[in-house]
Structure 1
Amino acid sequence: MTAYEAGTGDAANPLKQLARHGQSPWLDFIQRSYTESGKLKKLVEEDGLKGVTSNPSIFQKAMGHGTDYDPQIRQILADRIVDAGTLYETLAIHDIRAAAKVLHPVYAQTAKVDGYVSLEVSPYLARDTKATIAEARRLWIAVGAPNLMIKIPGTDEGAPAVQAAIAEGINVNVTLLFSLSAYKKVVEAYIAGLEERLSRGESVKGIASVASFFVSRIDVKIDKEIDARIAAGDREAESLRGLRGKVAIANAKQAYEYWQGIVRSPRWKKLADAGAMPQRLLWASTSTKDKTFSDVLYVDGLIGPETVNTIPPATFDDFRDHGRVADTLTQDLPGAHRVISEARRLGLDLDGVTRTLVTEGVRGFEDAFDALLGAIAAKQAAFLGNKVTKTTLNLPASLDTAVREELEAWRTKGNVRRLWAGDATLWTGRDEGNWLKWLTIVDDQLLALSKFEEFQAEVKARGFRDALLLGMGGSSLGPEVLAQTFGKHEGFPHLYVLDSTDPQQIRDFQDRIDISRTLFIVSSKSGGTLEPNILKAYFFDQAKKVLGDKVGSHFITVTDPGSHMEDVAKKDGFWKIFYGEKQIGGRYSVLSDFGLVPAAVAGLPLKLLLESALRGEKSCAASVPPAQNPGVVLGSVLGVAARDFGRDKVTIIASPGIYDMGAWLEQLLAESTGKDGKGLIPIDDETIGKPDVYGKDRVFAYLRLAEDPCPRQDAAFAALAEAGEPVVTIELHERRQVLEEFFRWEFATAVAGSIIGINAFNQPDVEASKIETKKITNAYNETGKLPPYEPFAKDGPFAFYADPKNAAALKAGTTAEAILKAHFARAGAGDYVALLAYIDRDTATREWIQKVRLSVRDGLKLATAAEFGPRFQHSTGQAYKGGPNTGVFMQITCDDVVNLPVPGEKYTFGIVKEAQARGDMEVLAERGRRVLRVHIHGDLKSGLEKLAQAISAAV
């Protein structure tokens, strides 16, 4: 017979006889099917069961296996977007309430002495007093059952939490007590809590508490040491042997003796007279681990008045079958003292053992809770199916092992929780904690959804045909993904994104729009960035010519509070001002107003998009263990591959329908991690080749859109995986899951930054180019001309520029082909080549740069970046200057056929672009980078063709 089958109902039932001796049998077990089937009720009726305890290990066995909880999990997931921790808690509270309902008659019959069900605060809080108090309070309210006990660990940090909870009238089960000294602190906390209530004039009646004193684990530790010393031939072998299986019960008897003294004290009498109930000792860990001892040793030997024994199911059955009932707690107390004294004489370190057991107990509950939450997270992902993205890893064995080790290290150190708590020491210990508002921005945006929906309706009502966003970097790249991925929506303007100072590109965008029917979005976090300011000035001036005094009604801004752009918007009468979050850096801002406002303008389904983003957030929540946390898994792959294997080139390929994700990821990865000589170098949009064109410095990330598959890409990635290259495939089932991936990649980047060992939220090298650019534009404003700048070589339409050091390395060549050959020859294994083109970014030039980069890649077997300036300066520029010195850079500039004025300035957009190219090159050279500038004079198209030929010949 098992405890699952109810008791015998026999009057001689040892379990029922315990009541005659003042002890209450509780069951150390809870499971939904057990309660729902009526088996728990039968134990109450037939075995005199008087309470139930739970802990993470019990819930892990109950929830992590089988299907009992599946129907409720599916129901919750159908109605809500939750993290694994919330899902667990919802299930646990359901079980606790159900068990409390079964036990409520006992609670009533015993006048609140018994009939309790225990629910533990998160094991992760065992060393955090303040958080434990908050959690105890929250769970007490959430369950809402009078016969609930909140389990709080009896650690040094837990004791003050016990006092606070008791003072608030919360029933408490103090767990993980092993030593008399720890127990004394808990008794003091209980009494002090009651006294605090009494001093406030509040009742102390009906507040229950038990102190869970663990037993068998002490003998396991002590007996193991005894056996080892006997085996080693210890001369005290006989004395040691006589202590086996006795220390734990002796230790418990001492605690009971101390309790008896407490309840006889005048201090306690005052509380008792006010109606206080004593805090009973509860014997926990009462299953016998050593098979040479009686299987009911820790029940038979611990029977006494006003105590509880919480018994595991198997031991419950055993005691029912052959338990012996007697007042054993008060028997031979001198003998118990002799056992403890003898243990000390023999050097059996009981104090050390109990300290170790507390540490192991906390760790064990954390491990069990991790396993529980991991199992729930895995079930959650399986049940959600295509509602969330799916990740497949194909990693070489050595990298796979290293990633698994990193994930385990993150688990044991609690790093996911540290990240969510804003613990700056996870990175460099500086100001990282001040830049984490992106972690919860989705929740804030959902709460503010009506604001965006009302704005969206206003945009539609005003009938704009076009919308032109003016921004750079984080302000533009996210909105660009949304515009390219979701296209135009009926009844809403076509969203364009302009992030260039190239005058031809500006003119191209101006020609696409109807200014009289265009909404301009000026997007700038700081409000002081050069490009958005001069783009605003230009288009405001152009729009005023068409719209007159109504021009401000066609402009809105997204900027941080108190910025220069806010002042400009107010002065110029902008229609709307939306505010960003100062605690979110630009590259992490896509889910803030910097992304959501353009999404609203474009008529995108905001609620659906935010819900997808929320799924990304919840899948990466603090409660999701690293191995099941998609953000941590991805970040660990990227971080470990770079740190330990030199695979720091993250090659990003996305399906055609979501191709622009790569441009956003470039900035996120490069600007976040590329600093202090370390970092990830993103390689976007580099058409996948055969495995033999790659070195051993890559990780491949494939963002695959299931609704728009590309068989050629699928085949290419399959070949890479087969060849042993590390491939991360992320399958999006529909386009709106790019929002889920926005959050996941932000989280992964923060994780990778921690692993690499940098601050993932600053950009120390971006400002350098801005400073140099400003020097040059200021000089132009003062003198009306640019500072002199002479090429070190010319060949046909090409002029070559470099700083003295780089020029010296290349001067041996007199032809374009020779100079380029010398430049590219400086690249070695593990390096990359970056083409930085300060030209109009249109279809033709994008096709040209792709063709050229592939010829370089295939010729040199090196990673290639194909970038347009000045756009890349606010993206990959940080990594190029501050990351590993593995880049070989080639700037490409040209004569501007079109030039445009910057209102209020002497310089033009062409001058600004030239200043930006010069400034960036100067900083690259200053940082010791291998850099060359090629300027094309005359016709750009023919010049690009000739340059492509020269590059092809050079490599």
Structure 2
Amino acid sequence: MTPLKALQAQGQAVWLDFVARGFVEKGDLARLVAEDGVRGVTSNPSIFEKAIGGSSEYDDAIRAALQEGDRSVVDLYERLAIEDIQKAADVLRPVYDATGGADGFVSLEVSPYLALDTEATVVEARRLWRDVGRPNLMVKVPGTAPGVPAVQTLISEGINVNVTLLFARRVYEEVAEAYIAGLEAFAAQGGDVSKVASVASFFVSRIDSAVDALIEEKAATVNDPEERSRLEELLGEIAIANAKLAYRSYKALIAGDRWKALAAKGARPQRLLWASTGTKNKSYSDVLYVDELIGPDTVNTVPPATLDAFREHGTAASTLERSVDEAAAALTQLARSGISLDEITDRLVTEGVQLFADAADKLLAAVATKRAQVLGDRMDSQTITAHRALAEAVSAETETWRAKGLIRRLWARDAGVWTGADEAKWLGWLGSTAHGWSKLAEYQAFAADVKASGFTDVLLLGMGGSSLGPEVLAETFGQQPGWPKLRILDSTDPAQVRATEAAVTLATTLVIVSSKSGSTTEPNVMLAYFLDRLRQTVGDAAGSHVVAVTDPGSSLEKVAQRDGFRKIFHGEPTIGGRYSVLSPFGLVPAAAAGIDLKQFLTSADVMVHACGPDVPPAANPGVRLGLVLGLAAKAGRDKLTMLSSPALADFGAWAEQLVAESTGKNGKAIIPVDGEPLASPVLYGSDRVFVDLRLASDASATHDAEIAALEQAGHPVVRIVLRDRAGIAQEFFRFEIATAVAGAVLGINPFDQPDVEASKIKTRELTAAFEATGKLPAETPVATSESFDVFTDPKNAEALRAAGAGADPASWLKAHLARVKAGDYVALLAYVARNPAHIGTLQAMRLSVRAHRKVATCVGFGPRFLHSTGQAYKGGPDTGVVLQITADDHPDLAIPGQSASFGIVKAAQARGDFGVLSERGRRALRIHIKTDVTAGLAALAAAVDHALS
């Protein structure tokens, strides 16, 4: 008879506060049951974290689980934990059977993140009870104020409960009352109360640790030796005294009539379980909290070291009901000394919840790390290099996000993560892939119909989020064999509209018009044009060549119904355009182009799981990227420079809109720099942060050396490597999470675009003037030549004249570009056709600016950029030096059913946008090309180069 087994004779069960896969599978638990009389097991996040993160014993199980299919980190953990709990429960099942269900339990706790949420606790406890599927399971529920009613509900449903985190006797009594009330309700429903078991886990050593510290602090201030001695006599006494009085409360409860009525029906008492029984103070006996708390109908759950110590030198004697009066006197004396035990126990509950949450964070981070290791290159990798100050700021903010549970709050759609405005209304994108899976069969049927119908081209008409995401898909994946080619039109430039029409065969073209609101000018005029052209080409079958993607009830939906469109796909109203690529706005054109949506969604979900609410910030790639971008911007590094493999180059245009439109407001912004070729570090100021997006197959020593040079020069660099092009789906979600996080860091709402509407208003005013008079309002240039007219507002004109601007456009260019200073960016905004020749000329122009001024450069084509970076140029900080470029359209192109032409609409948009820039006091100059556009751009590039020299 060992001391451990002898405890059974005193009516006390010993449970082990430990469980691990190898410990159970190798027979160690069974040995303790047989040799030492261990009659139960408890688990907690800290135990699992040490087992999973600190060893390789779970690696094979994780690998096997992921081979069945990827899953979230919490799902992966629960699979492992439930398997362990089931195996431990099976080992202890003979004890459960032999004791008639009185013992032999294994405990598994609900998420500590739910400790303050009654209903969520109940829901999770029910699920764990069902998934474990063992009668000798106890679900651990914290004894917080919200946890107590959860206990009553679960007991009323016949679910065994281990109520944890109990420190105060009054709370224990509330828990005991909840147990009794729950049993009464269960019995009233015809339940067999003899099948229900519960323990109330009363924590011990933590109380002594907290009280002893206050006693020692107070004793140090007492001058009277006798008074100091009386105080010091309480050291190491309070936790045991508190527990003994809790047991006295237990005895009183089971003597009551309510309990007797339940006992007559076979109910089992809710045993007090002594928890936290490992000795913290090394000057105390290592079996103190076992020796002093032995009594009938109790449980002592001990860590392995305490189990070993008691086996060696513990004393199994009835001690729990000894010296109870002295225990009460000790608590009275503590109160008289001015130390409030109630305040201490309340604090310990709060700290306990946080400690359990901290342990859960470590556990889930360990699982996330293991998941990433097993997935290997199936998950796009991310490495971040930052200088010391930024790295320290990121580390501190990472801990803040962890401690405050901000990523869980983000996923819970808590607007308080940002500004507390309407952010919660715009977080539907968090569930985009789940919605995509639910509609996969519909998308696949649509794709099959497109292919079977013989379409050779798919032409998407859209702007901003409706077009940039699909453009990335078209450029990254290319034309799929046997499928139509996906093309994007997002311009009102007449030449670009004509070029797009010439590139397709209208008779075999499927047009997708994509607009959330259905009221956006550009998609509507593009639709009017191509629907008219289709009618001229295929007659009454025109509608069957058009598909609409729009939010329910939009004006576009009404048009689609009226004109008999082939299909209408509904977007999710809670997803803003720039976050919509993983929604129908991206998936519909992807399906039509023959992109494998099952593979695409599977890839996206890899990052969704990696960035989920259950992944702590330090292990969460989207959060880490967002913290780096947000904190870098706050420190002055607000120019996000996108670098990429050629095959992934178009991703930057999508990221431009996401980042600029989300963060560029209230005088703040992360200014994205896309398409600027990588250069020597000497050409970059201290306002840059770089993201290098690269295919693994494009790795090269030369490129690595160039990136390393940036890092060595002190620039923050984020390296992201994709195994293949399908990984781009992961990057969409990574950057969406990162942008949302960066917005929170900057203290702005990343889901609105308050300055975009300002340009639309001015554009509508100008087009209304055209409708009324047949021409746009007259304007007077500040300088003119045969090639160019120059326009600006009076304030800018005054400043530039003072800087030397005169009668010729060259002097205005020189004065304008002379205003560029360190930390600025130059934006070249061209309202001309976006084609390779024009892109090349503007690239030469931007490189000249960078070489001479060593500032970030941005290139945008209008009106496309109005729905992208335009928000940041107007709403962000006054660090932009804008050169707007316009040109006459010869020939222009009529819009069917409207008096305004494409050229007039584009001109109104350009002038409207310039007007808002002027109102915001931006340094803006407009150069209007009067000659052939291509020749005029080349001449302007030469003029810019000359002005900079």
Q: What range is the shorter-chain TM-score in?
A: over 0.9
Match of 1:679 in 2: 669
Which amino acid in the other structure matches residue 174 of structure 2?
Answer: K
Cα deviation for residue 368 of structure 1 reads: 1.1
Which amino acid in the other structure matches residue 414 of structure 1?
Answer: G
- Secondary structure of the structure 2 residue equivalent to 1:745: helix
Q: Map 1:254-403 to 2 at 5 A.
A: 254-403=245-394
Cα deviation for residue 21 of structure 1 reads: 1.2
Residue-by-residue CA offset, 1:602-658 (whole Å, 9 max, x unaligned): 111111111010011000001100000000000000001112x11111111111010
Cα deviation for residue 774 of structure 1 reads: 1.3
| 1:585 and 2:558 aligned | no
Partners of 1:688 and 1:713 within 8 A in 2: no
Residue-by-residue CA offset, 1:31-80 (whole Å, 9 max, x unaligned): 11110011111111111111101111111111111111111000111112
| 1:706 and 2:696 aligned | yes
Partners of 1:284 and 1:309 within 8 A in 2: yes
| 1:883 and 2:876 aligned | yes
Cα deviation for residue 710 of structure 1 reads: 6.0
Match of 1:160 in 2: 149
Match of 1:900 in 2: 893
CA–CA separation in structure 2 for the residues paired with 1:395 and 1:49: 52
Partners of 1:216 and 1:288 within 8 A in 2: yes
CA–CA separation in structure 1 for the residues paired with 2:686 and 2:808: 33
CA–CA separation in structure 2 for the residues paired with 1:813 and 1:326: 103
1:137 to 121, 126, 136: 126
Which amino acid in the other structure matches residue 720 of structure 2?
Answer: I
Partners of 2:419 and 2:748 within 8 A in 1: yes
CA–CA separation in structure 2 for the residues paired with 1:57 and 1:710: 43
Partners of 1:301 and 1:329 within 8 A in 2: yes
CA–CA separation in structure 1 for the residues paired with 2:223 and 2:595: 78
- Secondary structure of the structure 1 residue equivalent to 2:107: strand
Cα deviation for residue 758 of structure 1 reads: 0.5
Residue-by-residue CA offset, 1:366-424 (whole Å, 9 max, x unaligned): 11111111111111111111001111111111101101111110000000100000000
| 1:39 and 2:28 aligned | yes
CA–CA separation in structure 1 for the residues paired with 2:868 and 2:64: 43
Partners of 1:463 and 1:491 within 8 A in 2: no
| 1:721 and 2:714 aligned | no
- Secondary structure of the structure 2 residue equivalent to 1:330: coil
CA–CA separation in structure 1 for the residues paired with 2:942 and 2:425: 50
Q: Map 1:103-502 to 2 at 5 A.
A: 103-232=92-221, 234-235=223-224, 236-502=227-493
| 1:832 and 2:825 aligned | yes
Residue-by-residue CA offset, 1:294-324 (whole Å, 9 max, x unaligned): 1111111001111101011111111111111
Which amino acid in the other structure matches residue 798 of structure 1?
Answer: F
| 1:52 and 2:38 aligned | no
Cα deviation for residue 202 of structure 1 reads: 3.3
Greater shift after overlay, 555-564 or 77-86?
77-86
Partners of 1:684 and 1:865 within 8 A in 2: yes
Q: Map 1:633-782 to 2 at 5 A.
A: 633-643=624-634, 645-709=635-699, 713-782=703-772
CA–CA separation in structure 1 for the residues paired with 2:288 and 2:576: 61
Residue-by-residue CA offset, 1:505-526 (whole Å, 9 max, x unaligned): 0000111111011111101111
1:22 to 4, 8, 11: 11
CA–CA separation in structure 2 for the residues paired with 1:492 and 1:282: 67
Match of 1:7 in 2: none
TM-score normalized by structure 1?
A: 0.98
Partners of 1:650 and 1:700 within 8 A in 2: yes
Q: Map 1:781-792 to 2 at 5 A.
A: 781-792=771-782
CA–CA separation in structure 2 for the residues paired with 1:441 and 1:941: 42
CA–CA separation in structure 1 for the residues paired with 2:929 and 2:748: 39
Which amino acid in the other structure matches residue 324 of structure 2?
Answer: L
1:93 to 79, 82, 100: 82
- How many equivalent pairs are there? 943
Which amino acid in the other structure matches residue 197 of structure 1?
Answer: F
Residue-by-residue CA offset, 1:814-857 (whole Å, 9 max, x unaligned): 22221011112222221111000001111000000111001011
Partners of 1:832 and 1:886 within 8 A in 2: yes
Which amino acid in the other structure matches residue 61 of structure 1?
Answer: K
CA–CA separation in structure 2 for the residues paired with 1:242 and 1:159: 35
Cα deviation for residue 804 of structure 1 reads: 1.4
- Secondary structure of the structure 2 residue equivalent to 1:173: strand
Match of 1:861 in 2: 854
- Secondary structure of the structure 2 residue equivalent to 1:707: helix
Q: Map 1:527-566 to 2 at 5 A.
A: 527-566=518-557
Cα deviation for residue 727 of structure 1 reads: 0.7
Give unpaired runs (5+ residues) of structure 2. Answer: none
Cα deviation for residue 665 of structure 1 reads: 0.2
Cα deviation for residue 231 of structure 1 reads: 4.5
CA–CA separation in structure 2 for the residues paired with 1:72 and 1:290: 38
Partners of 2:158 and 2:191 within 8 A in 1: no
Match of 2:596 in 1: 605
Partners of 1:123 and 1:365 within 8 A in 2: yes
Q: Is the alpha carbon distance of 1:711 and 1:531 closer, same or farther for their aligned partners in structure 2, counting shifts above 3 Å?
A: farther
Match of 1:523 in 2: 514
- Secondary structure of the structure 1 residue equivalent to 2:193: coil
Residue-by-residue CA offset, 1:662-716 (whole Å, 9 max, x unaligned): 0000000011111111111101011111111111111111111112346654332
Q: Map 1:566-585 to 2 at 5 A.
A: 566-585=557-576
CA–CA separation in structure 2 for the residues paired with 1:289 and 1:760: 47
Give unpaired runs (5+ residues) of structure 1. Answer: 1-10
| 1:807 and 2:800 aligned | no
- Secondary structure of the structure 2 residue equivalent to 1:336: helix
Cα deviation for residue 234 of structure 1 reads: 4.6
Partners of 1:410 and 1:626 within 8 A in 2: yes
Partners of 1:403 and 1:637 within 8 A in 2: yes
Cα deviation for residue 198 of structure 1 reads: 2.9
Partners of 2:139 and 2:162 within 8 A in 1: yes
CA–CA separation in structure 1 for the residues paired with 2:315 and 2:211: 25
CA–CA separation in structure 2 for the residues paired with 1:712 and 1:294: 64
Which amino acid in the other structure matches residue 841 of structure 2?
Answer: W
Cα deviation for residue 941 of structure 1 reads: 2.4
| 1:943 and 2:936 aligned | yes
CA–CA separation in structure 1 for the residues paired with 2:723 and 2:555: 41
